């Protein structure tokens, strides 16, 4: 347990995505989790199944720390790879907290919940790395600052870690 | 005050949009507010300035009822046309409640906060009428159910009222 | 509908209490609601049954306006006397918003939920009028500012309205 | 980092108390934190100064894991002993999440914020261990289930750990 005493606050990467996702997206999410863990950062996610479970499984497989911000009142709704379930009982309202608690966000696939999280993140100027998700840049005329498109898991995590370093 | 005793629950139309908006968008928002009031429905909005103030001003000018879901702890942050300020102290977290409290939503212009509200609404299957806002249909391959594009204020409100009627 | 145009913001009295309550407490709550309405203020409450329903019924019987801050995602959980349901989907988290949205609070009876609301209100320096509720003054050594014990419904509402006037 | 792979979910003890507290109360909180860490459980608290900082310092001094549920939008508001800041931006609304995320709660000293957390916990049937805090049992006629008074830090943590074991 000496590891804990070496430093205090964790770098925290938020990973957002849906409960339902294609196998290819789940594979990407798992790799994202693993890459985050290898770089010593913690993962925060929505704590449920699908992309959320895949990213936690990936992180845990590489010895990482996983935090799940659960929408319901029941910590048992967390997927089995969540080590720290934060039980909000606030439904979709928890999406805002997930975004605020992350130093940077990676969106992997995703439906409307993910879109709301991307929007919240961009709203407060947080970097969002987009991996096979909404093509938001097509949805309005002005360019979207802080939204970076990545093509694979490793690149996505590298962009994310660089964004965190730039904050310090 | 006899008016109140005629019926119980109000029909509630949520109007979402930014604090900063072009004059043309503000004009649209004001007209939307007025049209909602003429149909006897209440307006719920984020309660601040810009589109939120314009829609409340329009609603009040036609004798409507206005509810503002305020992000801060201070009800004095509500624009002067809000009759019922709901003080959440939850920042962006209040966007979720605005969406849930509305029977239908009309988005007028809007930035990332508005996008998060559109996403929340679509996430729970609520109809969103889009008026000069995000062209979300371009941001993904599948069509988006429950998102209806309107071209003017009157049409937007008519679509919204029809969506409410279809719920009953 | 000209009434609305006479003034803008409503004075809002929060009434807090449990779903389960003795008949005597329910009677008190109904009278509190009626007295608030007679003084032209709106009632905000948790929107459910028991004390919350009694206070809304009392307010409506005297032509008042009733707002219910609903914990669930479903506005149909509001009691039938709620005119404006605010749907939070935030469970107990909604108690904080109820307290913040009220200009003053009256506690009628009540269990732990009510206690949490009394605590939130005192925490932010809001006046709480206590009517057959927790005897909080016995629970610690220091006196409790802003907590006023009332003996009947009319007196409770008079104290509450005076507290609002003192704010302006 | 192998330690993490040994088990998945942490046992989480919530510790609640004020930013302002007497030296004796702070000393108790620090000892509570240390005792929790020695038993391998994580601490969740409100993340700010006073009792919250003391309990985190105690936990860290014994190699424990510390989670702070921050009311503001700024993770830098966390005290320096918080390893995992959860940034809620929900003010007092975060108290509810703290309570829900803890398997059991220990109240050390405390003002109205702490009282609201005790009330939330008892409301959902969670055990609260009381250490020099509100004498809630004096505030109403019926006895209060799930509220256990402790006389020192070690005893408080032992009662808390027993309550967790009883849940499994």
The arithmetic mean of pLDDT across residues D95-100, rounded, is 97
Distance from CA of A124 to the nearest CA of B (A): 9
Tokens of C111: 């269990």
Q: Is the pLDDT at B153 greater than 90, yes or no?
A: yes
Over residues A81-115, the pLDDT tens digits come to 999 999 999 999 999 999 999 999 999 999 999 99
The position carrying tokens 């409640």 is B97
Of the candidate ranges A11-25, A36-50, B81-95, C133-147, the one whose mean pLDDT is the lowest: C133-147
Alpha-helix runs per DSSP H in D39-168: 51-61, 94-101, 112-123, 153-167
Closest CA to C64 of C168, C165, C157: C157
Closest CA to A73 of A59, A89, A61, A57: A89
Contact A73 D2 (CB under 8 A): no
The position carrying tokens 């601490």 is D43
Over residues D153-165, the pLDDT tens digits come to 999 999 999 999 9
Confidence of residue B39 (pLDDT cuts 50, 70, 90): very high
Tokens of D41: 């459980």
Ranges assigned E (strand) in chain C: 12-16, 42-45, 66-70, 84-87, 104-108, 128-131, 147-149
Confidence of residue A142 (pLDDT cuts 50, 70, 90): confident
Contact B93 D93 (CB under 8 A): yes
In this predicted structure, what is the pLDDT of residue B1? 38
For residues A64 and A36, the answer to whether their CB atoms sit within 8 Å is yes
The arithmetic mean of pLDDT across residues A45-54, rounded, is 98
pTM, to two decimals: 0.93
The arithmetic mean of pLDDT across residues D131-144, rounded, is 91
Average pLDDT, chain D: 94
- Residue B64 DSSP class: -
The residue of chain C nearest to residue D114, with distances taken between CA atoms, is C119
Over residues C90-123, the pLDDT tens digits come to 999 999 999 999 999 999 999 999 999 999 999 9
| Distance separating alpha carbons of residues D107 and D33, to the nearest angstrom | 12
Over residues B101-131, the pLDDT tens digits come to 999 999 999 999 999 999 999 999 999 999 9
| Distance separating alpha carbons of residues D168 and D152, to the nearest angstrom | 25
List CB contacts (< 8 A) between B100 and chain C.
73, 87-89
Confidence of residue B9 (pLDDT cuts 50, 70, 90): confident
Contact C138 D138 (CB under 8 A): yes
Q: Which residues contact D49 (CB under 8 A, 6 or more apart)?
A: D19, D79
The arithmetic mean of pLDDT across residues B60-71, rounded, is 97
| Distance separating alpha carbons of residues B22 and C168, to the nearest angstrom | 35
The arithmetic mean of pLDDT across residues D56-82, rounded, is 97
Tokens of D9: 């979910």
For residue A137, the SS3 value is helix
**Facing residue for A97 by CB, picked from D83, D86, D96:** D86
| Distance separating alpha carbons of residues D42 and C116, to the nearest angstrom | 25
For chain C, list residues with pLDDT below 70. 1-8, 168
List CB contacts (< 8 A) between A116 and chain B.
115-116, 119-120, 123
| Distance separating alpha carbons of residues B105 and B93, to the nearest angstrom | 17
Edge-first strand order for the sheet with B128-131 is B84-87, B66-70, B42-45, B12-16, B104-108, B128-131, B147-149
Kindly write down the DSSP assignment for every residue of C45-56, as one continuous string.
E--SSTHHHHHH
| Distance separating alpha carbons of residues C123 and C167, to the nearest angstrom | 17
Residue of B10, B44, B68, B84 to mutate, interface with C, max C Cβ within 10 Å:
B84
In this predicted structure, what is the pLDDT of residue A8? 62
- How many Cβ atoms are within 10 Å of A22's Cβ, its own excluded? 10
Q: Which residues contact C39 (CB under 8 A, 6 or more apart)?
A: C157, C161
- Residue D91 DSSP class: G
| Distance separating alpha carbons of residues B66 and B56, to the nearest angstrom | 6
- How many Cβ atoms are within 10 Å of A5's Cβ, its own excluded? 10
Q: Which residues contact A98 (CB under 8 A, 6 or more apart)?
A: A14, A16, A44, A45, A46, A69, A117
């Amino acid at each position: 347990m000496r590891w804990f005493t070496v430093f205090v606050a964790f770098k925290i990467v938020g990973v957002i995505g849906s409960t339902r996702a294609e196998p290819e997206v789940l594979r990407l999410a798992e790799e994202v989790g693993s890459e985050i863990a290898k770089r010593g950062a913690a993962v925060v996610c929505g704590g449920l199944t699908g992309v959320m479970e895949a990213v936690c499984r990936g992180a845990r497989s590489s010895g990482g720390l996983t935090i799940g911000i659960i929408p319901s009142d029941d910590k048992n709704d967390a997927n089995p790879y969540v080590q720290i379930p934060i039980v909000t009982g606030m439904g979709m309202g928890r999406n805002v907290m997930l975004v605020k608690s992350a130093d940077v966000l990676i969106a992997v696939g995703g439906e409307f919940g993910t879109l709301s999280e991307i929007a919240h993140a961009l709203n407060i100027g947080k970097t969002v790395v987009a991996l096979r998700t909404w093509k938001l840049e097509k949805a309005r005329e002005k360019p979207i600052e802080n939204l970076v498109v990545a093509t694979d898991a490793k690149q996505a995590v590298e962009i994310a870690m660089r964004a965190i370093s730039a904050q310090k």
